[in-house]
A and B are shown apart, each in its own frame.
Chain A
Amino acid sequence: MRSLSKLQRVAIFFLITGILGPLAPLTIASLAFRWGWPDLLPSIWWWEKRDTLQVPLAWDYIFDPVSRVVPAMQNTILIALCVTLLALIISLPAAKVLATQNFKGKSLFELFLAAPLIVPEMAVSLGMLLVFLQFGLQGNLVAIIIAHLVPVIPYMVRVLTVIYGELDKGMLDQAALLGASRYQIFRYVEFPLILPGILAAALFSILISTNIFLLTFYVGQGQVDTLATLLFSKIRGGGALDPVSAGLTLVIILPGLLFLAFTHRTLKEEVFSGGLNKS
């Protein structure tokens, strides 16, 4: 393998700086009390004012129960886990069929499953709100979990189809020949073989679910806080970033970072190849 050209080195440097660089000013902004133009650093820091005011500022507010950051984080995680579990249950059989069977209209069906990837989020969100209004289900966790299934399932089915496609069918046949029941085959042969794929798909699904804002916002009707909706209500004005918004941004980045650090090895790039080739 050849080494990087100069231009490639510069490009990768910019990519890394562009991603990690903003963490420093975000941290500073979250610790500022007053950071006016044209100061490069805050003129008054948060801890200097901390004791003189009755109202909690910056990190004090974020850590105070009043900010409801903790319940929002719990909601975010709970939703992601439920969505992932449900999506797995729904997607696994579909992926198995798509990987092993040929049938009339298969490509049409695949297109149908891929459609949520290309239909505007706004249309899905508003339409979904109407669906839930019909059922009287809007504004709660269940509705949000169901809503998140729609963008998650297409990815999941694709990733799992690839995994099933690579599955060694011979091993399953052998097990059947040896007299294993269908359950035994699944439990002792099929499941361990596809487990790495399932893990990768699950992690990907968690990533998607925690990233969703608009669907949660509409279907939740402002009554269910997630980290994304909390941040939206803080920065929707688009004015200067105040310390609480900066802190909240960091609070949202952190779990993502930890998550990546722990799953880096499982979330292999190879899993995502192929999945897209078919479109």
Chain B
Amino acid sequence: MSKGTQSMNLLKKLISACLLNTAVLFPAYAADKDIDIFRSDFVSGKLSWSEVEKRAREEGTVNWFHWGGSEQLNSWIERVVVPKMADKGITLKTTRIAGTRDAVDLVLTELAAGRELGHGSVDAIWLNGDNFYTLSKQEALFGSFADKVPNSKYFEFDQDNPRAQLNLSDFGTPTQAREMPWSGEQYICYLDSKRLSRANAPKDFVELEIWLEKNPGRFTYVKPPHYIGNTFVQTALYSFNPSGQGYKEFQRPITSFTADEFTKLVQPGFEYLKRIEPHLLGGDTPFYPQNQSVNQSLYNNGEVDFACEFGLYLVHNNIKTGTFSETTETLAFPSSGMIKNKNFLAIPKNAPHPAAALVFTNVMSSLELQISKLKDIGYPLGADIWKLSGAEALAAKAAEPALHGVTADELGRLAVSDTNASLVKVIEKIWVDYIEKKSSLPFGEIVAKQIVSN
């Protein structure tokens, strides 16, 4: 061993000694035996639901971490969910976080500090996509529960039914019932019928290009890496998929592609985005809003004629709160496929009140709350409409807010799956390199670089 490596090792040792390991400061929390038994009994179906509810009452509290940026949602939770949980003898404590990431961080930090089963501080998280992928990769989830709570009857979990896809796969990560589908969303566009008539609005990406040439500067999209921007780019890539299969290839993980294959798949779409760039808002110095909030103000100020983001009932909700003009309508764009996904409630492995968390997810997926959420704040059903009885389905239909200019059938027909989470990362980086940074490399090399660096 050379002197260099010796001193290096010494340095390493010194640093490890200096950095107080939390395990030294705090006694390692032994995994709670009792909770371990409860978990395996529940997952294997040995426990009756009334036993779970009884235990939940003893636990008494559930800590839910959710994105707290919507006043409507926050009020609805306090007004509707908190009393419902109180009926079950459980106090619902909510932590409003600016990004779901904070809750995931907390769980992983606690686990890393040895706070195992029963010793965490998070009972349930509202999440999807990346955040679920992270928890799943770190094995930080409670287990398969979603298909075992009583209200799972409203959800399709049948592996053989193709319609179950939205419940079984979250951005390409198999959910394995480790999260409860709670709400859904679809990517839509909205226009002001006073400024742009529905008949003149583009219906797909080809028409958009022609429309933009006639109306330069009247449209833009949110920039990746924001997820709203990523989704727009994905939709364009689907539309120009050379195989004509649309979203299909985009369900595969990145590891199943060679750089060449992936280049062939996405090049036409990216070239299209490059081509329309000079006709977007700002022209020679194109302006891509950072997020949907800025995009909405561009739309409200009349700088663009239509804009796109997630939100099946966005138009309804925003007219209601005064954000959008009364003449705003939903636009089904593009006809090549509008991305739809669900969002979920997950229970972390070290949840301190696992039974209460189970009861919570069951309450949240009850038809009563599903319908109340749909009606009061315009958050789409997480439940699958075909799993409801005739009367239930009618009640759900009756609760649907107005779609403003499109029909549910039309939107349902155009719905396509979201892109695999591992592809999304590569796609956003290609966009930043190719469009934002205007990289001078040939397209194939940009793709190869991003695939390798991933």
Contact = CB atoms under 8 A, between A and B. Distances in A.
Interface of A: 32-34, 36-37, 44, 49, 53-57, 61, 64-68, 133-136, 138-139, 221-223, 225, 229, 232-234, 236-240, 242, 244
A134 to B, nearest CB: 5
B322 A33 contact: yes
B68 A135 contact: no
B439 interface: no
A133 B376 CA distance: 40
B41 interface: no
Given A56-B75, A66-B78, A239-B296, A135 B291 contact: no
B75 A240 contact: no
A223 B96 CA distance: 8
B322 A139 contact: no
A45 to B, nearest CB: 10
B102 A238 contact: no
A134 B20 contact: yes
Contacts of A66: 71, 74-75, 78-79
A44 B97 contact: no
Interface string B318-358: 00111101000000000000000000000000000000000
Contact of A136 (B22, B97, B99, B290): B22
Interface string B112-147: 010000000000000000000000000000000000
B95 interface: yes
A135 B105 contact: no
Interface string B52-88: 0000000000000000110110111011000000000
A199 to B, nearest CB: 36
B297 interface: yes
A135 B25 contact: yes
A239 B292 CA distance: 8
B113 A136 contact: yes
Contact of A222 (B71, B76, B97, B291): B97
A202 B260 CA distance: 65
B445 to A, nearest CB: 33
Contacts of B321: 55, 57
Contacts of B109: 133, 138
Contacts of B14: none
B323 A242 contact: yes
Contacts of B292: 237, 239
Contacts of B290: 237-238
Interface residues of B, number: 43
Given A53-B320, A237-B292, A135 B78 contact: no
A163 B365 CA distance: 64
Top 4 A-B residue pairs of the complex, sorted by shortest distance between their CB atoms: A237-B293, A239-B293, A222-B102, A240-B297
Given A56-B71, A135-B25, A237-B293, A221 B322 contact: no
B98 A232 contact: yes
Given A55-B71, A221-B106, A240 B22 contact: no
B452 interface: no
12 contacts: A36-B301, A37-B302, A55-B71, A67-B74, A221-B105, A222-B98, A223-B95, A233-B68, A233-B96, A237-B293, A239-B291, A239-B292
Contacts of B302: 37
B294 interface: yes
Contacts of A54: 376
B294 A237 contact: yes
A240 B300 contact: yes
Interface string B384-398: 000000000000000
Nearest to A234: B69
Given A55-B321, A134-B20, A239-B294, A61 B71 contact: yes
Contacts of A65: 78
Nearest to A232: B98
Contact of B22 (A68, A134, A232): A134
A135 B376 contact: no
A222 B95 contact: yes
B322 A55 contact: no
Nearest to B290: A238
Contacts of A223: 95, 97, 102, 106
Nearest to A236: B98
Given A232-B98, A239-B296, A36 B68 contact: no
B163 to A, nearest CB: 33
Contacts of B75: 55-56, 61, 64, 66
A49 B96 CA distance: 27
A37 B102 contact: no
A237 to B, nearest CB: 3
B377 interface: yes
Contacts of B296: 239-240
A241 to B, nearest CB: 9
A107 to B, nearest CB: 28
Contacts of A55: 71-72, 75-76, 320-321, 376-377
Contacts of A34: 322-323, 325
A37 B195 CA distance: 13
Contacts of A33: 322
Contacts of A240: 293, 296-297, 300-301
A66 B302 CA distance: 33
Contacts of A53: 320
A239 B301 CA distance: 11
A242 B376 CA distance: 20
Nearest to A233: B98
Contacts of B79: 66
Interface in B285-324: 290-297, 300-302, 320-323
Nearest to A139: B106
A36 B325 contact: yes
Given A57-B321, A61-B71, A66-B78, A221 B301 contact: no
Given A55-B377, A223-B95, A242-B323, 12 more contacts: A33-B322, A37-B302, A49-B322, A55-B71, A55-B75, A55-B376, A56-B71, A133-B109, A134-B19, A238-B291, A239-B292, A239-B294
Contacts of B291: 237-239
A53 to B, nearest CB: 7
